[in-house]
């Protein structure tokens, strides 16, 4: 058994048990392996190709490439293992793959120097093979460096032909490991660039979607859904602060039904919450066992990221990206890209909210302009025309033209029609001045809301006319009774067949208020038209 420094000059065993002579027939195989290792920029296929090439070059029956966790704060261990030579049946019989914390695999992680053994079962560092594992004796291990960082280790076992691995095998594998380090470095850069590109495209898509004017709930759901896909997470969750000082899940995107997630609350004072409110991201290896996690849904998740959504120093929410139990932990690149995405999404949410406010303001301003135009131009002209017609009717009556019924009737009808038109235009002006989506507080607004809701059921909008200072004269209790009577009358009109028109009139005077609801529906007696009147003194 010999153990070698990273770059020693190859030496011969004194007993001659190692064959240090070059094996020329294997050089073409080595050169082909070195060249082929650098042709693929996809990291996982590159790693699998490395272990397959090393197994072929050294004539080993089994090979493995273990990837060392780059985050040493969580302990040195293997985060992934690529194998060669194991059949599917053999792999299935191994209950649990080694994690590199113990045994020879762990020894090579803690002491990354080439290792050459004739019989690994006799080495004191060996922890034995797990149940179902094929028997192995001869062993060769070489670390793989990417620049100065240990990326992983290359393990070979069971030299074909029954002999031990030689110094030549070690030299060939070290050459291959050196070239593999370069190939892995290139593949890492390529994969990081691709991941960064996907996150950037995702952030741009979210920004574009949010600025398209979608509602706030849809905007939060868009952030959660896109982040879940980019992070390959089990769920994408957006939390927002509660009045009590905690945080509540307001949007959740999962492969399954997210109903049990929405509404889940992090209680005030939670350690996780304190970090988030301080603007710090939280990274968790296992949500189910981390004492900082206190919600009931934590048991179904494993690795997780919780990223503050803040803009201009203001925390507007949190983006959480948990993976399933046993899922791969997030690496440093994942954390960096997700944090950048969260910052971009927070800015997009703030901009979208500001844009929505500007659009609402523009609507209010436009409605106010229309209302002013109607009041200043249309109503005054109609009123002037009404006054002219009324004066004409009076002059005609004084001059004796009243004996001609047609002229007087037509003038009276024109005056009545103009008066009704003025009332309807004023009602339209009042409706334009109401903020959309806000619950009305005035009597006029409440009446218009009731008739508008009834219009959805009737299939047409009832005509509404106000007379007198409705808002100023009616106290709250009388207004409540009026709204109740109006609801009943509209419901009765809806139940009558063949209803095509409903007229609502509210007449308020200092002595009392009267509500009249008239419809043209068919009555049980077969006639058409019903009038409902409600009155109350003031």
For CA atoms 6, 9, 15, 19, the dihedral sign is positive
Domain end position, chosen among 348, 366, 396: 348
Whether residue 305 lies inside any domain: the answer is yes
Helix 216-231 and helix 167-210: axis angle, to 10°? 170
Range of the domain at 236: 198-348
Q: Provide the pLDDT for residue 329.
A: 83
The answer to whether the CB of 158 falls within 8 A of the CB of 61 is yes
Clarify whether residues 218 and 178 are in a common domain: no
Phi-psi region of 162 (alpha: psi -120 to 50; beta: other; left: phi over 0): left
Which residue among 138, 173, 192 closes a domain?
A: 192
Within-domain flag for 405: no
What pLDDT was estimated at residue 39? 62
How far apart are the C-alpha atoms of 324 and 218, rounded to whole Å?
A: 25
Domain total of the chain = 3
Q: How far, CA to CA in Å, does 439 sit from each of 38, 86, 450?
A: 67, 70, 11
So what's the pLDDT on residue 533?
A: 93
Distance in angstroms (rounded) separating the CA atoms of residues 105 and 126: 9
* 395 found inside a domain: no
Question: 187 with 300, same domain?
Answer: no
Q: Going from the first residue of the chain to its last (538 residues), give the mean pLDDT of each consecutive group of 10, the final group possibly shorter.
A: 40 37 56 62 78 86 83 60 83 71 76 85 76 82 84 87 85 84 80 87 80 70 87 87 83 76 82 80 85 80 88 80 85 87 82 66 66 63 72 71 59 68 63 56 83 80 87 88 88 85 91 92 85 90
Answer for the pair 150, 143: CB distance below 8 angstroms, yes or no: yes
Q: What are 290's strand-pairing partners? A: none
**Closest by CA position to 277, among listed 236, 305, 303, 245:** 245
Whether residue 360 lies inside any domain: the answer is: no
Q: Give the pLDDT score at 8.
A: 40
The answer to whether residues 6 and 95 belong to one domain is yes
247-254 vs 265-266, strand pairing mode: antiparallel
What is the distance between the alpha carbons of residues 292 and 221, in angstroms, rounded to a whole number?
A: 26
CA distance 199 to 195: 6
Please report whether residue 393 resides in a domain: no
What is the distance between the alpha carbons of residues 378 and 298, in angstroms, rounded to a whole number? 64
Residues 207, 337, single domain; the answer is yes
Residues 69 and 138 in one domain: yes
Whether residue 75 is contained in a domain is answered as yes
The CATH number given to whatever domain includes residue 164 is: 3.30.450.40
65 lies in the same domain as 164: yes
Going from the C-alpha of 219 to that of each of 215, 225, 245, 315, 349, the distances in angstroms are 6, 10, 23, 17, 7
Q: Are residues 303 and 173 in the same domain?
A: no
Q: Are residues 218 and 335 in the same domain?
A: yes
Look up the CATH number of the domain holding residue 498: 3.30.565.10
**Do residues 41 and 164 share a domain?**
yes
Q: Say if residue 29 is in the same domain as residue 70.
A: yes
């Amino acid at each position: 058994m010999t153990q070698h420094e990273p770059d020693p000059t190859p030496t011969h065993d004194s007993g001659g048990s190692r064959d240090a002579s070059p094996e020329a027939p294997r050089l073409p195989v080595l050169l082909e392996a070195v060249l082929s290792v650098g042709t693929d920029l996809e990291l996982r296929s590159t790693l699998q190709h490395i272990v397959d090439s090393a197994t072929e070059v050294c004539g080993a029956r089994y090979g493995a490439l273990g990837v060392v966790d780059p985050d040493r704060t969580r302990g040195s261990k293997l985060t992934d293992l690529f194998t060669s030579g194991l059949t599917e049946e053999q792999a299935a019989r191994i209950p649990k793959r080694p994690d590199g914390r113990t045994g020879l695999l762990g020894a090579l992680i803690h002491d990354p120097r080439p290792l050459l053994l004739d019989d690994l079962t006799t080495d004191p560092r060996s922890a034995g093979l797990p149940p179902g594992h094929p028997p192995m004796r001869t062993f060769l291990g070489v670390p793989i460096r990417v620049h100065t960082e240990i990326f992983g280790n290359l393990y070979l076992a069971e030299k074909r032909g029954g002999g031990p691995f030689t110094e030549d095998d070690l030299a060939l594998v070290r050459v291959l490991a050196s070239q593999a380090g370069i190939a892995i470095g290139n593949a890492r850069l390529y994969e990081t660039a691709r991941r960064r590109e996907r996150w950037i495209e995702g952030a741009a898509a979210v920004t574009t979607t949010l600025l398209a004017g979608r509602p706030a709930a849809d905007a939060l759901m868009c952030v959660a859904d896109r982040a879940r896909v980019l992070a390959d997470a089990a769920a994408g969750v957006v939390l927002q602060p509660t009045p009590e000082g905690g945080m509540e899940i307001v949007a959740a995107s999962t492969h399954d039904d997210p109903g049990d997630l929405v509404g889940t609350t992090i209680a005030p004072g939670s350690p996780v919450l304190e970090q988030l409110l301080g603007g710090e991201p939280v990274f968790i290896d296992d949500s189910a066992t981390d004492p900082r996690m206190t919600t009931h849904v934590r048991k179904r998740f494993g690795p997780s990221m919780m990223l503050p959504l803040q803009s201009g120093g203001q925390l507007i929410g949190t983006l959480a990206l948990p993976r399933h139990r046993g899922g791969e932990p997030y690496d440093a690149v994942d954390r960096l890209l997700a944090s950048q995405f969260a910052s971009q999404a927070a800015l997009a949410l703030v901009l979208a909210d500001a844009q929505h406010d500007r659009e609402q303001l523009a609507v209010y301003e436009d409605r106010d302009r229309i209302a002013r135009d109607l009041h200043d131009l249309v109503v005054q002209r109609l009123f002037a025309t009404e006054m002219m017609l009324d004066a004409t009717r009076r002059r005609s009556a004084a001059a004796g033209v009243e004996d001609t019924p047609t002229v007087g009737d037509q003038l009276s009808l024109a005056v009545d029609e103009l008066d009704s038109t003025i009332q309807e235009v004023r009602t339209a002006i009042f409706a334009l001045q109401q903020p959309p989506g806000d619950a009305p507080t005035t009597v006029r607004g409440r009446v218009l809301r009731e008739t508008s809701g009834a219009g959805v059921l009737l299939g047409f909008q009832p005509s509404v006319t106000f007379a007198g200072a409705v808002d100023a004269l009616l106290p709250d209790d009388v207004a409540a009774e009026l709204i109740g009577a109006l609801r009943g009358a509209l419901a009765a009109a809806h139940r009558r067949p063949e209803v095509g028109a409903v007229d609502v009139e509210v007449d308020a005077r200092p002595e009392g208020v009267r509500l009249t609801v008239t419809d043209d529906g068919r009555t049980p007696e077969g006639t058409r038209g019903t009038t409902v009147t409600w009155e109350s003194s003031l």
